[in-house]
Amino acid sequence: MIAIIDYDIGNITAVVNMLQRLGLRCQVTASADAVEQAERIILPGNGAFDSCMQNLRASGLIPVLEQQVLQRRIPLLGICVGAQMLGQGSAEGVEPGLGWMDMQVHRFPVSPGLRIPHMGWNHVFPVRQHHSLVQDMTAEARFYFVHSYYMVPNDPADVLLQADYGLDFAAGVVRRNIAGVQFHPEKSHRFGKRLLNSFARWVP
């Protein structure tokens, strides 16, 4: 069972639909008991960093998430702001992040000809090419992005995927059983399907 964390951050139906198309059992939940029973966890994120962190804290789920992710080492995938929340904080706001990964979140600098937010399809390249999460990723892989801020891990070994938008940035990060992607795999058609299917099979 894959638990999709519901902390009142918007519509996450697309994530459910994509997992169901892959034949994967999933449950949208705000229940600590359900999170305790999960074999995989997805942390979505939508909107502003501070609002997402405030809502997650208000949900009361952080203690059980820390138990599952940090102690039991249950695989977790953060999506978009959900990935940014894995770090220590964001230039978008003042709230501290979860601190599960050693990284900050920066705003894209102004570049001639590039609009902020970075919105639309972009090519993504594996940095850790032999990692289980990217084993089915091809050279043509493209994913759908909507973001003005990007992840900056302090340890380059935590960068799983890279993309370019005026600068090279971490499109995906991973450390032990914790992974995050800046793009939306649930909106990325066959490329997103492959990544979510790899996550469902991932044994860190």
Measured from the Cβ of residue 53, the count of other Cβ atoms closer than 10 Å reads 24
**Rounded CA separation 167/132 (Å):** 26
Strand partners, 170: 151, 162
DSSP3 helix / strand / coil % (the chain, rounded to 5) = 30, 30, 40
- pLDDT score for 63: 98
- pLDDT score for 139: 86
- pLDDT score for 138: 86
Q: What is the pLDDT along the chain (204 residues), one digit of tens a residue?
A: 999 999 999 779 999 999 999 999 999 999 999 999 999 999 999 999 999 999 999 999 999 999 999 999 999 999 999 999 999 999 999 999 999 999 999 999 998 889 999 999 999 999 998 999 998 898 899 999 999 999 999 999 999 999 999 999 999 999 999 999 999 999 999 999 999 999 999 999
- pLDDT score for 111: 87
For residue 200, give the nearest of 13, 17, 19, 16 by alpha carbon: 19
Catalytic residues: 80, 184, 186
- pLDDT score for 89: 98
